[in-house]
């Protein structure tokens, strides 16, 4: 089949070809813009993902530390609960003959009363005494001669009170009959 192409037809085909090329160029530009947008969105999504992962790791570390602190606090709470039960039991029983108390003296003045000697020694560490200080017997020197001194007292049921655990040694007075 032979086809005769006229100038008019040729001009229409050429115009159609230019229009097709223009549409292709616009489509290519739109595709490039869409590709750039998608690349930017992908980059932003990757950044958000990395930040979320880093934040997740930081939160994981914080959670582990919080769990450790919670376990330590729970253990401390159990110890305090046991001490409280023991203290309540002692309070219900009341003092028994021979129970001891320790009075912490500061330059001879009563400072605090403790149930146990080790508690008095531990408390002096909060007042500037070394926790591993060696406590020695004071002998007969006056209590005011010492910055910190512990005096032990024993409960005496017969007198409804306490007496010194180590009473001073009686010294004879010269010239007395």
Q: How confident is the model at residue 42 (pLDDT cuts 50, 70, 90)?
A: very high
pLDDT at 170: 66
The closest of 126, 122, 104 to 113, measured between CA atoms, is 104
Put the strands of the sheet holding 148-156 in their side by side order: 109-114, 100-106, 148-156, 161-164
Q: Is the pLDDT of residue 48 over 80?
A: yes
When pLDDT is cut at 50, 70 and 90, the band that residue 12 belongs to is very high
| Greater model confidence, 79 or 168 | 79
Pairing of strands 161-164, 148-156: antiparallel
Question: What is the domain partition of the chain in residue ranges?
Answer: 1-94, 96-164
Please report the pLDDT score of residue 166 as a whole number.
Answer: 66
At 86-101, the pLDDT tens digits run 889 877 877 777 777 8
**Of the candidates 155, 122, 157, 117, which has an alpha carbon nearest to the alpha carbon of residue 137?**
117
The Cα–Cα gap between 138 and 87 comes to: 30
Distance, C-alpha 29 to centroid of its chain? 59
CB 104 within 8 A of CB 150: yes
This prediction has a pTM of 0.43
pLDDT of residue 171: 67
**Structure-model confidence comparison of residues 46 and 140, the more confident one:** 46
As a whole-number percent, the residues of the chain with pLDDT over 70 amount to 92
Average per-residue pLDDT in the chain? Answer: 86
Q: 94-129: per-residue pLDDT in tens?
A: 777 777 788 888 888 888 888 887 888 888 888 888
How far apart are the C-alpha atoms of 169 and 130, rounded to whole Å?
A: 31
Nearest to 111 by CA among 74, 61, 81, 149: 149
């Amino acid at each position: 089949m032979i086809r005769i192409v006229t100038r008019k037809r040729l001009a229409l085909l050429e115009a159609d070809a230019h229009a097709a090329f223009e549409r292709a160029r616009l489509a290519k530009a739109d595709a490039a813009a869409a590709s750039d947008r998608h690349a930017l969105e992908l980059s932003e999504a990757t950044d958000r993902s990395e930040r979320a992962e880093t934040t997740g790791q930081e939160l994981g570390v914080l959670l582990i530390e919080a769990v450790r602190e919670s376990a330590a606090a729970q253990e401390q709470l159990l110890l305090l609960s046991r001490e409280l039960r023991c203290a309540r039991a002692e309070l219900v029983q009341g003092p028994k003959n021979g129970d001891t108390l320790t009075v912490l003296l500061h330059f001879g003045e009563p400072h605090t009363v403790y149930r146990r000697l080790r508690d008095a020694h531990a408390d002096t560490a909060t007042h500037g005494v070394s926790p591993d200080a060696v406590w020695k017997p004071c002998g007969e020197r006056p209590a005011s001669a010492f910055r910190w001194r512990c005096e032990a007292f024993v409960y005496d049921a017969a007198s409804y009170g306490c007496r010194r655990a180590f009473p001073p040694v009686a010294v004879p007075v010269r010239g007395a009959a």
